[in-house]
């Protein structure tokens, strides 16, 4: 058995392996050739030590060098797009085109290039100058590596070795230790090869980017709490995320989590009455997109019972039945979805369609739609907010508008909340109540729009209150916000001018840098 090497301490080297694993082809359920190592603690310690050296060495590089690396890496991914997207499709069962090759891969390189531009410009640092006291501050690197755990569902755009957390951590000046997701090790390997080469292109310390394929749970906890680690980014399942959070919290290490979310949708009565049929299409598309394996998948939709809502539900049921179920990412996604559907039914939800795995090769589950009364939902709000990760949706049917409002008060923290209302104003009073209740429970509030699109926008919040994430003030997507997570506030008090970081000198170094000078944002020199 020969394992693929790991990217450790600046080179591809044989892992100190405690075991090995293979990727699976979800479309067949068969393993894909090639063995990947489960790294031992020795690999972990070597990675952390090398990262500490890289964190120090990076202090000698200007932001432009990090930007050059991010740009070079993006170019290299583009140049190898077919191979990378092909491998990702094979390992995840997600469609090669348009999903991976034409949407997720360009999004990934776009994020890297946006992070490069932000690193070059520097406005993300929130450089702040108080001329009266001669105190100056900015956000700077953490002084230790960022550990990044990517999820299974976006093998490129959220991969620990290429995704938004990666781009943000590098832009802020930190080295990265990526923990690839075990469901797509080959994709991660191809990406890491390009990252390693791009470090060479840009002349950055080679240990700036490291990657291990898999660790034991204990070693994962050790990594996020290691004294030499700066912070962690984690996207994935709630249970593993909370275990890592406990370890990181105890060590006083920041950890940014992006966990499960059921993303409530409220369709107000006059919206469903006036354009219910159109909404059926939007809803079915959004729930089943990527076989429902989106962080922002609309898990719960709340309507007021009426003739229109009954038509909406029967239309959605038909839509679910008419659509070919997508391939799920792994065997455990299939079994987990089945368990969640069963649990919802046990809480009183009625199965409208689906509910069982699809027979035959590969990992598939019937498109599944459930319905529950608002009364039942209010009786067991926690149990009925159980995430059913995959191609399933739950519709909550409120008896009346008052019950709809009560339902909007019981949601736990979510990434998103959407409200559909009619254009003519008839839903406005109800909208105001629902929006007020959702506002503190969701990171992103949408109008008349499904939440599944997550634009890489400066104003995006791909975050939200616990337990959707670990902190309500940060976003995992969108620059400059995502970069600021992986930074420490550096203050300089009475520090001599020639010892200040270039962004804090009297002269604005240019390239579009904005600074908060005496309380006003400015692109100018200190006057």
Residues 156-195 that bind a copy of itself (CB under 8 A): none
Taking contact as CB under 8 A, which single stretch among the options 313-321, 336-344, 350-358, 488-496 is the one that binds a copy of itself? Answer: 488-496
DSSP H stretches of helix in 231-306: 238-250, 269-288
Please say if 406 is a catalytic residue: no
- What are the φ/ψ torsions at residue 147 (nearest 5 degrees)? -90, 130
Taking contact as CB under 8 A, which single stretch among the options 145-153, 159-167, 330-338, 480-488 is the one that binds a copy of itself? Answer: 480-488
**Using the rule CB under 8 A, which residue among 9, 18, 378, 435 binds a copy of itself?**
435
Site for a copy of itself in 236-295 (CB under 8 A): 245-246, 249-254
Sign of CA dihedral 162, 166, 172, 175: negative
Is residue 142 at the binding interface for a copy of itself, with CB under 8 A as the rule? yes
Binding mask of the shown chain, residues 392 to 421, with x at each position contacting a copy of itself by CB under 8 A: ---------------------x--x-----
DSSP H stretches of helix in 323-356: 331-346
- Residues 87, 102: Cα–Cα separation, whole Å: 14
Is residue 448 at the binding interface for a copy of itself, with CB under 8 A as the rule? yes
- Residues 421, 286: Cα–Cα separation, whole Å: 18
What are the Cα distances from residue 238, in Å, to 330, 344, 391?
A: 17, 18, 18
**Using the rule CB under 8 A, which residue among 26, 122, 144, 150 binds a copy of itself?**
144
Angle at CA 109, nearest 5°, toward 86 and 333? 50
Is residue 61 at the binding interface for a copy of itself, with CB under 8 A as the rule? no
Is residue 310 at the binding interface for a copy of itself, with CB under 8 A as the rule? no
Site for a copy of itself in 458-477 (CB under 8 A): 458-461, 463, 465-467, 470-475
Please say if 258 is a catalytic residue: yes
Size of the chain, expressed as the number of residues it contains: 527
104, 154 Cβ separation under 8 angstroms: yes
Q: How far is the CB of 515 from a copy of itself (least distance, A)?
A: 9
Is residue 519 at the binding interface for a copy of itself, with CB under 8 A as the rule? yes
Site for a copy of itself in 492-511 (CB under 8 A): 492-496, 499
Angle at CA 74, nearest 5°, toward 68 and 77? 140
Asked whether the bond before 480 is cis by omega within 30 degrees of 0, the reply is: yes
Q: How far is the CB of 173 from a copy of itself (least distance, A)?
A: 11
Which H or E element spans position 170? helix 164-171
Catalytically annotated residue among 91, 258, 273, 403: 258
Is residue 444 at the binding interface for a copy of itself, with CB under 8 A as the rule? yes
Is residue 113 at the binding interface for a copy of itself, with CB under 8 A as the rule? no
Asked whether the bond before 467 is cis by omega within 30 degrees of 0, the reply is: yes
Is residue 443 at the binding interface for a copy of itself, with CB under 8 A as the rule? yes
Q: How far is the CB of 457 from a copy of itself (least distance, A)?
A: 4
392, 368 Cβ separation under 8 angstroms: yes
Q: Give the residue numbers marked as catalytic.
A: 258, 295
């Amino acid at each position: 058995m020969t394992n693929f090497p790991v990217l450790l301490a600046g080179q591809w080297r044989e892992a100190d392996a405690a075991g090995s694993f293979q990727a699976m082809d979800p479309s067949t359920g068969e393993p894909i050739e090639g063995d990947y190592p489960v790294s031992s603690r020795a690999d972990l310690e070597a990675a952390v030590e090398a990262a500490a050296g890289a964190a120090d060495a990076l202090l000698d590089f200007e932001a432009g060098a990090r930007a050059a690396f991010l740009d070079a890496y993006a170019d290299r991914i583009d140049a190898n797009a077919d191979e990378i997207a092909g491998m990702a499709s094979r390992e995840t069962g997600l469609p090669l085109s348009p999903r991976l090759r034409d949407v997720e891969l360009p999004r990934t390189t776009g994020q890297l290039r946006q992070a490069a531009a932000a690193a070059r410009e520097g406005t993300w640092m929130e450089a702040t100058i108080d001329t009266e006291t001669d105190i100056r501050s900015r956000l700077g690197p953490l002084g230790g590596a960022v550990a990044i755990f990517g999820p299974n569902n976006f093998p490129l755009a959220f991969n620990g070795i290429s995704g938004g957390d990666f781009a943000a951590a590098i832009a802020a000046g930190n080295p990265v230790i990526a923990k690839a997701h075990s469901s797509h090790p080959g994709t991660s390997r191809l990406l890491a090869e390009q990252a390693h080469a791009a470090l060479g292109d840009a002349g950055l310390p080679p240990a700036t980017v490291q990657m291990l394929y898999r660790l034991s749970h204990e070693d994962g906890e050790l990594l996020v709490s290691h004294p030499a680690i700066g912070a962690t980014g984690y996207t994935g399942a709630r249970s593993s995320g909370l275990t890592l959070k406990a370890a990181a919290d105890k060590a006083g290490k920041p950890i940014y989590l992006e966990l499960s979310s059921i993303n409530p949708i409220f369709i107000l009565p006059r919206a469903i009455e006036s354009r219910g049929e159109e909404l059926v299409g939007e809803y079915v598309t959004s729930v089943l997109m990527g076989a429902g394996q989106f962080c922002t998948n609309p898990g719960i939709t709340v309507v007021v019972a009426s003739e229109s809502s009954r038509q909406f539900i029967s239309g959605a049921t038909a839509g679910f039945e008419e659509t070919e179920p997508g391939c799920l990412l792994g065997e455990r996604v299939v079994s987990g979805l089945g368990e969640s559907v069963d649990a919802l039914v046990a809480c009183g939800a009625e199965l409208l369609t689906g509910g069982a795995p699809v027979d035959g090769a590969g990992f598939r589950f019937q498109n599944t739609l459930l319905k529950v009364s608002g009364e039942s939902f209010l009786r067991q709000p926690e149990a009925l907010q159980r995430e059913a990760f995959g191609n399933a949706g739950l519709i909550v049917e409120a008896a009346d508008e008052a019950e709809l409002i009560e339902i909007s008060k019981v949601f736990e923290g979510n990434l998103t909340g959407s409200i559909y209302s009619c254009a003519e104003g008839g839903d406005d009073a109800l909208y105001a109540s629902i929006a007020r209740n959702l506002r503190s429970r969701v990171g992103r509030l949408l109008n008349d729009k499904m939440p599944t699109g997550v634009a890489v926008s400066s104003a995006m919040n791909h975050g939200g209150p616990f337990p959707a994430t670990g902190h309500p003030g940060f976003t995992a997507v969108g620059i400059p916000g995502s970069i600021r997570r992986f930074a420490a506030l550096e203050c300089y008090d009475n520090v001599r001018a020639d010892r200040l970081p270039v962004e804090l000198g009297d002269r604005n170094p240019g390239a579009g840098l904005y600074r908060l000078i005496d309380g006003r944002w400015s692109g100018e020199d200190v006057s």
